[in-house]
Chain A
Amino acid sequence: MSHDHLNAIDATIAHIPSPGEQFFPPFSVTPELEAQVAELITHYPEGRQKSAILPILHIVQKQFGFINPASIEWTASQTGVSAAHVLGVVTFYPGLRQKCPGKFHFRICRTLSCAMSGAEDLFEVICRKTNIDPASINHHEPIGVSPCGMWSIEQVECLANCGNGPNVLVNDLLFDKVTPEKVDEIIAKYKQA
């Protein structure tokens, strides 16, 4: 909805360009994806195929980086619901994103314990070190991506490790008690990978 030239309806599925897209394949229905999803749907009883929407969206997001209109429509066709319904699901969960993140996606906790142990300062440190513009991050576009497309950052709610804040999730790996020095180590480590 930050797209002022679009109306509020078209903006719900508008493509938000991101430098991270170079690291992910564009959405396409491959035979492997089809097989994986067909198997997933069998986990749910007959008539309840729409329960598979969330797991399908997770697979799509993992593989293609983000959820685009084509994947929304494909998910709807696979589960027998309307595209509007899937759109409602996608726009509801902050964990489902419509903008492509970088190759390495930092999710920094902003819930109480981490906030008290310095998560806000840490957020700015990571932005500076990865060359991400924190001003580009707002309610409607919660993900900031570096111009090189390698790095992206997003503030998230509790990562369930409150005793050891501040916590940062990089892709699927959790780092606790993160300090600015530790950020350097993490960046160096992923740069090599």
Chain B
Amino acid sequence: MSEETSKLPKDIAAAEGKVNVQINGTWYQFPRGMRIIDACKSVGVHVPTFCYHPKLAIAGSCRMCLVEQGMPPRLAPGQAPSYDAQGYQHIQWMPRPIIACANTVCENMGIKTNSPLAEEVRAGVLEFLLANHPLDCPICDQAGECKLQEFSNDYGKLKGRYTESKTKKGKNLSVGPNINLDQERCVLCGRCIRFMRDIAKDPVLSFSQRGTHNAVTIYPGRELDHPYSMNVVDLCPVGALTSKDFRFKMRVWFLKETKSIDVNCGTGTNITIWSREEQVYRLTPRQNDEVNSCWMPDEHRLNYRFINSPQRIPQPVIRTDINAPHRASTWEPSFSALAEAIKRVPADQIAIIASGRMTNEELYMTRLLAEQIGTKHVDIVSRVKESDGMLISADRNPNTTGAQVILGLENPGSQLEMIRDGVQRGKIKAILCLGEDLTSPEAGFKAQDFENLNYLFVMDHTASDTARAADLVLPGVSFAEKFGTMINVTGRIQRLNKAIEPIGYAKDDWTILQSITKALGSNSPAMNAVSSMDILSLIGQEYAALENINWGRVGDCGLQVLETGVTIPLIEQEKNPQG
């Protein structure tokens, strides 16, 4: 026998720091020290869990992940181990199941998740959990995304055997500005407690009355008001913690999920937009270990109401004479009116104020528009505040990095003062304002500044003081209504997806910019683009930093394209818990 064939699977695996584990009859190799639950998940074997969460400390309290486990029999003194034809030892199955979350894999271990024993213990655990659980699924907000409901359906027994009355606990308790607690629905997994203790570092929750009346409690007089507190609503596997904002608004099975990113700051937190019939109902974080882990700040989560607000501009609005009231218009006449107005003003007296909230595609179209006009006065409004040391970046614009790359701005926002000064001295006679309110403190314009202008054009989705002063307003769309890409502060390009159709007669911003540029006589290849994906491919041909970029390559979790040196504090903490 040659040396090659005499090598056993355990030696081959050990050379790579791995172990052989049999899961439901098939042998796999896993790194030493991996949790059984992660090992099962990595090969597509589902293990039900309540208390286990990959980003939180292990509690092992729910017992839902019990699996049957076996090891090779212990050898008698002097006995040599025997191996089967494939080189594995015989597995002796244990009569007692183990929890998959708190135990790690080891050499020649066997795991069964579908054996009669595993099925019986799961049904048993569920029977205990349901012994005191209220049967209020029809009025429970979690119904449809409740783990207890799902697991009861998949693994539970049809009929309960308990005839005793259920334990009474607190219901409909307000525990914070955004969260309600129902202690009876709680399965005591403790995820919320561990999140508040380890991630939020504000341990206001705990178990009290441990025993029959065990319940999650907030310390009386305290509030669950941490800026990240609403993540416990996502973490709660049942309907114990519910969002006051979303309570009783919509059944989750009616909602459409769209993968997108948060546009409130430069981190670009990955989110899911939940919508139905052109209305957005909630935003939830989406896992991305390079950007936001599994979390999202409450402030950003709740900032979605502007999408379906009555303040949205539903159609083009034009002012035909000084001091005349605005009146509704249609798209084609608006474009020609704008092109004529632009042609009347000398190119060096026109400024374009774009936004760090625009996508790369829109910024690219802005650049083409500026080139077509021939103006050098192009800038964005910068929004730099303080970082919160977790996920909220100091840069409150979601795409400043994109503006730096696409528009070639070295120092975004630095020209703004010059433009403002130009307006006051009468050197700038027309402003094309794209997606910004110039009267906001960040932009710093005053209402009387607009009186010096011959022409003010605004493209925005929501009414603002700037729009009210404009000669022409063309309605663009919010982040939920468009496809596009943005580059976050770390240099990662990420995708926005369209969740709902544009409100009213509004149009995708990039097509508005395309039509204006076309009306001014451009014949760039971007004039033939039919989607923002086409624009992205053009960007990929033009910019070295974004070489060969296209919609498919960016993917759902984004693509690191630049090294800006900026990091996200929460992610750094997660990667180096000690440092």
Chain A contacts for B213, CB-based, 8 A: 1, 139-140
B181 proximity list for chain A (CB < 8 A):
9
User: Contacts of B170 on A, CB cut-off 8 Å?
Assistant: 7-9
Q: Which residues of A contact B204 (CB under 8 A)?
A: 82, 84
Assuming the contacts A7-B170, A9-B173, A82-B203, asked whether A91 and B219 have C-beta atoms less than 8 A apart, the reply is no
| B493 contacts the other chain (CB 8 A) | no
- Tell whether, in the assembled complex, residue A84 and residue B210 are in contact, meaning their CB atoms are under 8 Å apart: no
- Would A9 and B218 be within 8 Å (CB), given that A82-B203, A84-B204, A85-B203 are in contact? yes
Let me know if B211 is at the binding interface, CB within 8 A: yes
Residue of A nearest to B169 (CB): A8
> How many residues from B make CB contacts under 8 Å with A?
24
CA gap between A83 and B222 in the complex, in Å = 10
Lowest 3 CB-CB distances: which A-B pairs, in order?
A8-B170, A84-B206, A82-B203
Cα separation A32 to B204 with both chains bound (whole Å): 30
Give CA–CA (A69, B221) in the complex, Å. Answer: 11
A12 touching B203 by the CB < 8 A rule?
no
Say yes or no: B210 contacts A9, CB within 8 Å: no
Q: Which A residues have a C-beta under 8 Å from some C-beta of B?
A: 1, 7-10, 12-13, 69, 81-85, 87-88, 91-92, 139-140
A91, B220: Cβ atoms closer than 8 Å: no
Query: Please, could you name 30 A-B residue pairs with CB atoms under 8 Å apart, sorted by A?
Result: A8-B169, A8-B183, A9-B173, A9-B175, A9-B220, A12-B208, A12-B217, A69-B220, A81-B203, A82-B203, A82-B204, A82-B206, A82-B219, A83-B219, A83-B222, A84-B205, A84-B218, A84-B219, A84-B222, A85-B206, A87-B206, A87-B208, A87-B219, A88-B217, A91-B208, A91-B209, A92-B209, A92-B210, A92-B211, A140-B213
Q: A84-B219, A85-B203 are in contact. List 6 more A-B contacts (CB 8 A).
A: A9-B217, A12-B220, A81-B203, A84-B217, A88-B217, A91-B210
Contacts A9-B217, A12-B217 given; indicate if A88 touches B203 (C-beta within 8 A).
no
- A88 touching B210 by the CB < 8 A rule? yes
Closest partner residue, chain B, to A90 (CB atom): B208
Question: Considering the chains assembled together, what is the distance between the CA atoms of A1 and B184 in angstroms?
Answer: 14
Distance between Cα atoms of A84 and B216 in the complex (Å): 10
Q: Which residues of chain A are near B169, meaning CB under 8 Å?
A: 8
How many A-B residue pairs have C-beta atoms within 8 angstroms? Tell me.
Answer: 61
Report how far A72 CA is from B213 CA in the complex, Å. 20
Q: Which residues of A contact B175 (CB under 8 A)?
A: 9
B residues with CB within 8 A of A: 169-170, 173, 175, 181, 183, 197, 203-213, 215, 217-220, 222
Evaluate contact between B215 and A84: CB separation under 8 angstroms: no
With most chain A CB atoms within 10 A of its CB, the pick from B197, B207, B209 is: B209
A88 to B210, CA, bound (A): 7
A83 to B169, CA, bound (A): 21
CB nearest to A87 among chain B residues: B208
The docked-state distance in angstroms from the alpha carbon of A149 to that of B204 is: 36
Are B173 and A88 within 8 A (Cβ)? Answer: no
With the chains together, A87 CA to B218 CA distance in Å?
Answer: 10
B210 touches A13 (CB 8 A): no
Shortest distance in angstroms between B544's beta carbon and chain A's nearest beta carbon?
51
Q: Which residues of B contact A92 (CB under 8 A)?
A: 208-211
* Cβ distance A8 to chain B, nearest Cβ, rounded Å: 3
Q: Which residues of B contact A13 (CB under 8 A)?
A: 220
Separation of A91 and B211 alpha carbons in the complex (Å): 10
Chain B CB count within 10 A is highest, among A9, A83, A92, for A9
Nearest Cβ in chain A — how far from B407, in angstroms?
49
Q: Once the chains are docked, how many angstroms separate the CA of A84 from the CA of B194?
A: 13
Smallest CB gap from B184: residue in A: A8
Determine the distance from Cα of A81 to Cα of B219 in the docked complex, in whole angstroms.
12
Nearest-neighbour CB distance to chain A for B481, whole angstroms, equals 42
* Min CB gap A98→B, angstroms: 11
Measured between beta carbons, the chain A residues less than 8 angstroms from B220 are: 9-10, 12-13, 69
Residues in chain A near residue B173, CB distance under 8 A: 7-9
In the bound complex, what is the Cα–Cα distance between A43 and B565 (angstroms)? 46
Q: Chain B residues near A69: list those with CB within 8 A.
A: 220
| CB of A143, distance to nearest CB on chain B (Å) | 16
Contacts of B209 in A (CB 8 A): 1, 12, 91-92
Determine the residue in chain A with the shortest Cβ distance to B197.
A82
Q: How far is B171's CA from A9's CA once the two chains are assembled, in angstroms?
A: 10
CA of A82 to CA of B220, assembled, Å:
12
B205 with A8: CB separation less than 8 A: no
What residues on B are CB-neighbors of A83 within 8 Å?
219, 222
Kindly name the residue among B173, B208, B215 whose own CB sees the greatest number of chain A CB atoms within 10 A.
Answer: B208
- Which residue of B is nearest A83, CB measured? B219
In angstroms, Cα B218 to Cα A10, docked, is 9
Complex: how many Å from CA A85 to CA B204? 8
